[in-house]
Amino acid sequence: MLTFGVVALFFATSCEKKESTKIETPTTENSTAADEKAASEIPKTINGVEVPKFSSPEVQQFADEYATFMSEMTAASKSGDAAKIQELSLKTQEWAEKQTELASKWTPEDAKLWSDFAMKLSQAQMPK
């Protein structure tokens, strides 16, 4: 699983896909606490791949941050920004280490969700 995540991260740096990449999150002005809670429950997506809901807040935060990182990797790759690609590529080892550390805390359901999520992200990075 670690290797797959690292491969997906490196693959993102070499894609030259022409579609825009963004993480879609709801935004509202003058939100109340209830609105903010409801907004935080709406799933994020990257390249049309929804970030799944994990069983623990720690795993969920990791998945959300990973989706943001993948979005940045894809955007840098598409823009051809070599400096940004290099900067983000150096962080892939950190992400792999975080994933390895966190994987020991995953439930079997979380492990399956992560595997499916990482696979979908990798597939979304591939040129069509």
- Tens-digit pLDDT profile for residues 3-39: 344 444 444 433 433 344 444 444 444 444 544 444 4
Longest Cα–Cα distance in the chain: 43
Kindly report whether the global pTM for this prediction surpasses the value 0.95: no
The answer to the question of residue 62 being in a domain is yes
Within a domain: 72: yes
Structure tokens at 75: 């955007």
Q: Is the predicted pLDDT of residue 46 greater than 80, yes or no?
A: no
Mean pLDDT computed over 35-58: 72
Of 124 and 88, the one with more pLDDT: 88
Between helix 92-103 and helix 2-14 the angle, nearest 10°, is 150
* ∠ Cα 8 122 46 (to 5°): 115
Does the residue 78 lie in any domain? yes
In the chain, the number of structural domains is 1
Which domain does 115 fall in, by range?
Answer: 56-128
Q: Is residue 46 part of a domain?
A: no
pLDDT digits (tens, 9 = 90+) for 75-108: 888 888 899 989 998 998 999 999 999 999 899 9
Name the pLDDT band for 128 (thresholds 50, 70, 90): low
How many CB atoms within 10 Å of residue 42? 10
- What pLDDT is recorded for position 107? 92
